[in-house]
Amino acid sequence: MQATKFILDPGWRVLLSDLGINSKEVLKRAGLPGDLLVHKEPALDARDYFRLWNAVVETVNDPTLPLKLGQSISVEAFHPAFFAGLCSPNFNIAMERISKFKRLVGPLVYNISRNVDLTTIEVDCLNIENPLPESLIAFELVFIVHFGRLGTRREIKPIAVISSKDLPNPDAFSDYFSISATKGESNRVTFS
């Protein structure tokens, strides 16, 4: 069974504050109630979740925002899913733990495939009617790589980054990944 409403993580308030964004203004731009983030358990459906994400991106108006956000995750920012991932014995188990959490907090899913030589994490949308925004795809791809680096304390480099949309400011993303992202039918990162 898949959730149809997603409880907004308290981190959204922190994120907006860190970006210097007035939460009421971004909520208004998204067509959402101005007091949404002060509700006990604010919840959104997939369409509203993407409207909120897009409103943040439009407000900041910086093509490297997904890159900056993806790299901003730190050990100091306690989050149960991140903590569980960071306490994992290896990267594969960490990503499996994160993938279980992703579908609870947003209309996203991480599909993980492994063999002896490769691990691939594919980012997909749970709601076909509302495809993933380009900037959210970029953020998720950066987050996967950043989380791997954070957890291993090494500059791990993916051997492939595939995106179904063109990444904004491709040179900045290529520098971060240490490989150019290629366009494909899915959104995924592969590690050796």
Residue 104 has pLDDT above 90, yes or no: no
Residue 77 has pLDDT above 50, yes or no: yes
The angle, 0 to 180 degrees and rounded to 10, between the axes of the packed helices 134-152 and 46-60 is 80
Average pLDDT of span 26-33: 96
DSSP the chain: ---SSEEPPTHHHHHHHHTT--HHHHHHHTT--TTGGGSSS-EE-HHHHHHHHHHHHHHH--TTHHHHHHH---TTS--HHHHHHHTSSSHHHHHHHHHHHHHHHSSEEEEEEE-SS-EEEEEEES-TTSPPPHHHHHHHHHHHHHHHHHHHTS----SEEEESSPPSSHHHHHHHHTS--EE-SSEEEEE-
Residue 135 has pLDDT above 50, yes or no: yes
Residue 9 has pLDDT above 90, yes or no: no
Per the model's pLDDT, the better-predicted residue between 188 and 81 turns out to be: 188
24-28, 29-33, 71-75, 142-146: the lowest-pLDDT one: 71-75
Residue 90 has pLDDT above 50, yes or no: yes
Residue 3 has pLDDT above 90, yes or no: no
The angle, 0 to 180 degrees and rounded to 10, between the axes of the packed helices 46-60 and 11-18 is 20
CA angle 8, 135, 71 (to 5 degrees): 75
Residue 187 has pLDDT above 60, yes or no: yes
pLDDT of res. 75 = 66
pLDDT of res. 71 = 85
Tokens 């279980």 correspond to what residue? 100
Spatial contact of 125 and 131, defined as CB atoms under 8 Å apart: yes
Average pLDDT of span 86-92: 91
pTM of the model: 0.91
Residue 1 has pLDDT above 70, yes or no: no
pLDDT of res. 48 = 94
Tokens 């994992």 correspond to what residue? 88
Which residue ranges form the domains of the chain, and what is each CATH number?
6-61 (1.10.260), 66-191 (no CATH)
pLDDT of res. 128 = 67
When the pLDDT of each residue in the chain is averaged and rounded to a whole number, the result is 89
CA distances (Å), 96 to each of 34, 101, 116, 119, in order? Answer: 35, 9, 16, 11
Residues of the chain above pLDDT 70, percent:
95
Average pLDDT of span 105-111: 88
Average pLDDT of span 111-130: 89
Residue 76 has pLDDT above 70, yes or no: no
Tell me the C-alpha distance between 63 and 57, whole Å: 8
